[in-house]
Chain A
């Protein structure tokens, strides 16, 4: 089948946005895969394997990001990365409950 890209849209869920710690979680996960991982925000495309790139997206809570994965393990990579983004909420301080 070859090199079809898998594209997933995600919303940055945590209050503090895509800062250093979440960016680190994302990049660490991305580096585990062979596939090329890119993220785009409003047309700006950066490497999902570079923490500096990911941080410069300056994505705050509610920002829509597109994860574009190309390569042999793209399917798994895409799903894993979507999950990682969801787990950003755990990065926030304990929820102000209510």
Chain B
């Protein structure tokens, strides 16, 4: 028995035989063509480039459909690389002037890039050599006429052992028999790591050259929690891990079975767990994970990457789709939350301080044509289901009143035109600026609900840009000032009997769940994938215990100590999962 240590990138345990995958690069020899064949060779190259572009596109669609757009993004980059003008020019030159074969031209050009990246000191960037190898291999396969879409398949349950797995190999992975992945190189940010996690496949990367001693059919245990690979395990170890696998299986079933169960604490408090979404197709993930509704529907994607501003009909169509897909659950649509530069481009002078500048509701109130189109679409969609509208970044009462005025103007218009809408459309604001918390008792008289956006609230409360590495360490969700503001917001909303939800990243992080319940929140809106885990916490604790925790936190003044206490409390809640 031998234990190899690597980097844990995707949790889980698997016990199976090894399947060693060689990176079988077709051998490219230094070969030349005659002058007469240059044009034919250029045509072969162009055809291969087109075919590879098609393959990459197909991989992107496949992965995006199965796992979500973000996982397909790597292929969008690969496509860009294949179409790169410089690359194409250098390949064409090698064939035209040096009379290289297409294969040799490809291997020469890519070798330069691969060698370059292999020498980059930063380990994450060094992994980019893999992107080049992947594309090179696709091109050579096409040029050699090899079977392009070779599935990484196994006849029996196996753990894949490889130097590295390219994005295309990951996309073609046999989902039935491949139980785990171990690679020699790679790190936590690599594409294989990200995809393995999305597929919920245990994975250990960066094990190093020791891996080369493993033969196909060697018995292995992969421990994706600890980043360990156990080669030829003894009976005792196998037994221990078999228990772990069984435990894991039960845990999965439990999480899946949570879907239709309510998020209720042990002492009977119901927590409304809703989902944050950006794209219309994410409604499916909400249903699958058992979301009680969409607590935050971001609408920015309608504006980004478009040549012209979206029409009322563009807005209406996507809202109608989400409302339909959510099957009657409540949906909160947030109006445009972007900076002016993203909308106006050249017509807008650069701002010294964009975070404090013309953005979100401020922008909507200055660009009322666009704002009216969006609100009209929301009003028209409001008869299709349980729809509310929410304004982002409201910092003064005046802004709220202006926005509501526009809304009621539009209602009158629609009425005159006999177009249906819900007159009682609920109106709310995102609470993400300290001024809105301070004035919340007044706001509350004019709105139906608030949603606490913690990401911006932390930034504006602590005056920290978390994208600035010099000060990012000051950004802390647990800062006592931030927690006090959240408490004030919850208390004001409860006192005024209006709805209150928390929709920032804090809501989706299990570390904060107990604290937030203890602070009086009964509605959280989180990324769809986080719902089962948060629900499990809700169903395991009592609101009473959460209140005790919140009371202890209130007496503390150090963000790091607070965070430590929260982590410790979560660990104690699930002692056997440490």
Q: Which of A's residues lie within 8 Å of B, judged by CB?
A: 11, 13, 15-21, 23-24, 27-28, 47, 49-53, 55-56, 58, 60-62, 73, 75-76, 79-80, 82-83, 86, 89, 93-95, 97-98
Contact B87 A97 (CB under 8 A): no
Contact A19 B128 (CB under 8 A): yes
Residues of B within 8 A of A73 (CB): 346
**Contact among B81, B85, B477 with A49 in the assembled complex (CB-CB below 8 Å):** B85
Contact B77 A20 (CB under 8 A): yes
In the assembled complex, B62 has its CB within 8 A of some CB on chain A: no
24 contacts between A and B (CB under 8 A): A17-B125, A19-B124, A19-B125, A19-B127, A19-B128, A20-B74, A20-B128, A21-B76, A23-B80, A51-B81, A52-B84, A52-B86, A52-B87, A52-B113, A58-B117, A58-B122, A58-B125, A60-B122, A61-B469, A76-B346, A79-B345, A82-B350, A93-B194, A94-B505
Contact A56 B113 (CB under 8 A): yes
Shortest CB distance B243–A (Å): 31
Contact A21 to B120, CB < 8 A, known contacts A50-B84, A98-B477: no
For A74, give the chain B residue with the smallest CB separation. Answer: B346
8 shortest interchain CB distances as A-B pairs: A76-B346, A24-B77, A20-B77, A60-B122, A50-B86, A51-B80, A58-B120, A13-B467
Contact A55 B346 (CB under 8 A): no
Residues of A within 8 A of B77 (CB): 20-21, 23-24, 51
In the assembled complex, B478 has its CB within 8 A of some CB on chain A: yes
Contact B467 A50 (CB under 8 A): no
**Contact among A19, A50, A56 with B85 in the assembled complex (CB-CB below 8 Å):** A50
Interface Cβ pair total, 8 Å cutoff: 98
For B472, give the chain A residue with the smallest CB separation. Answer: A95
Shortest CB distance A80–B (Å): 7
Residues of A within 8 A of B87 (CB): 50, 52
Residues of B within 8 A of A18 (CB): 125
Contact B189 A76 (CB under 8 A): no
Within 8 A of A (CB), among B252-288: none
Residues of B within 8 A of A55 (CB): 113, 117, 128
Q: Give bound CA distance, A91 to B478, whole Å.
A: 24
Residues of B within 8 A of A83 (CB): 339, 341-342
Residues of B within 8 A of A13 (CB): 467-469
Contact B80 A27 (CB under 8 A): yes
For A61, give the chain B residue with the smallest CB separation. Answer: B469
Q: Give bound CA distance, A16 to B187, whole Å.
A: 11
Contact A98 B476 (CB under 8 A): yes
Q: Give bound CA distance, A27 to B78, whole Å.
A: 12
Contact A21 B122 (CB under 8 A): no
**Contact among B78, B85, B120, B194 with A20 in the assembled complex (CB-CB below 8 Å):** B78
Residues of B within 8 A of A93 (CB): 189, 194
Residues of B within 8 A of A76 (CB): 345-346
Residues of B within 8 A of A49 (CB): 85
Contact B477 A21 (CB under 8 A): no
Contact B563 A98 (CB under 8 A): yes
Residues of B within 8 A of A53 (CB): 86
**Contact among A17, A21, A47, A95 with B505 in the assembled complex (CB-CB below 8 Å):** A95
Contact A21 B506 (CB under 8 A): no
For B131, give the chain A residue with the smallest CB separation. Answer: A20
Shortest CB distance A89–B (Å): 5
Q: Give bound CA distance, A27 to B86, whole Å.
A: 13
For B562, give the chain A residue with the smallest CB separation. Answer: A98
Residues of A within 8 A of B563 (CB): 98
Question: Assuming A28-B80, A49-B85, what are 9 further A-B pairs, CB within 8 angstroms?
Answer: A19-B189, A24-B73, A47-B86, A50-B85, A56-B113, A75-B346, A79-B346, A80-B341, A82-B350
What 0/1 readout, one digit per residue, does chain B (47-77) give for beta carbons within 8 Å of chain A?
0000000000000000000000000011011
